[in-house]
């Protein structure tokens, strides 16, 4: 990996979500994983240990990493030893995302989200 100096004049960011990275400068490995279990209920009553990641296939299923079978040939030309960026403006970095200015050898990102909505039946709503 070529070592470079990274210069960023201005960076504006409004929000960074869980397991996200803002990296200015070189990094050898970036690894960001986010598991989100989002539960929405009309009546906000929750019990301890009611929702566990292990109870949902979404979080237990292994992720198949693609295997590269064809040979890769990469030619790079670094005319200077610096990466210069004038302005970066990012409104939001979602779960397990990366804003990276610099060299990197390896990156692995993953995000799994399970949304659950419990909506009350009309009969249950009338009993409120």
Rounded mean pLDDT, 25-37: 88
Element (H, E) at 58: helix 57-60
What is the SS3 assignment for 3? coil
Q: With a cut of 70, say whether residue 125 has pLDDT above it.
A: no
Give bridge partners of residue 8 from the DSSP assignment: 85
Asked if 14 and 92 touch (Cβ cutoff 8 Å), the reply is: yes
Whole-model pTM: value is 0.67
Q: How many residues does the chain have?
A: 128
Q: Are strands 82-93 and 5-16 parallel, antiparallel or unpaired?
A: parallel
Phi, psi (rounded to 5 degrees) for 7: -120, 125
Q: Are strands 104-118 and 27-41 parallel, antiparallel or unpaired?
A: parallel
pLDDT tens per residue, range 52-80: 999 999 999 988 888 989 998 888 787 88
Residues in contact with 42: Cβ distance below 8 Å, sequence separation at least 6, in sequence order: 118, 119, 120, 125
Give the DSSP letter of residue 19: T
SS (H, E, C) 61-100: CCCCCCCCCCCCCCCCCCCCCEEEEEEEEEEEECCCCEEE
What mean pLDDT value characterizes the chain?
A: 86
> What residue ranges do the domains of the chain occupy?
5-64+77-126
Q: With a cut of 80, say whether residue 123 has pLDDT above it.
A: no
């Amino acid at each position: 990996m070529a070592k470079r100096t990274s210069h960023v004049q201005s960076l504006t960011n409004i929000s960074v979500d869980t397991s996200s990275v803002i990296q200015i400068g070189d990094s050898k490995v970036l690894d960001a994983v986010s598991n989100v279990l989002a539960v929405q209920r009309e009546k906000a009553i929750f019990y301890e240990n009611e929702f566990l990641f292990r109870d949902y296939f979404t979080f237990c299923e292994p992720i198949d990493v693609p295997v590269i079978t064809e040979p890769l040939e990469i030619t790079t030309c670094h005319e200077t030893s610096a990466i210069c960026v004038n302005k970066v403006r990012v409104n939001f970095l979602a779960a397990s995302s990366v804003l990276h200015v610099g060299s990197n050898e390896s990156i692995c990102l993953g995000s799994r989200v399970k949304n659950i909505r419990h909506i009350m039946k009309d009969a249950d709503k009338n009993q409120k």
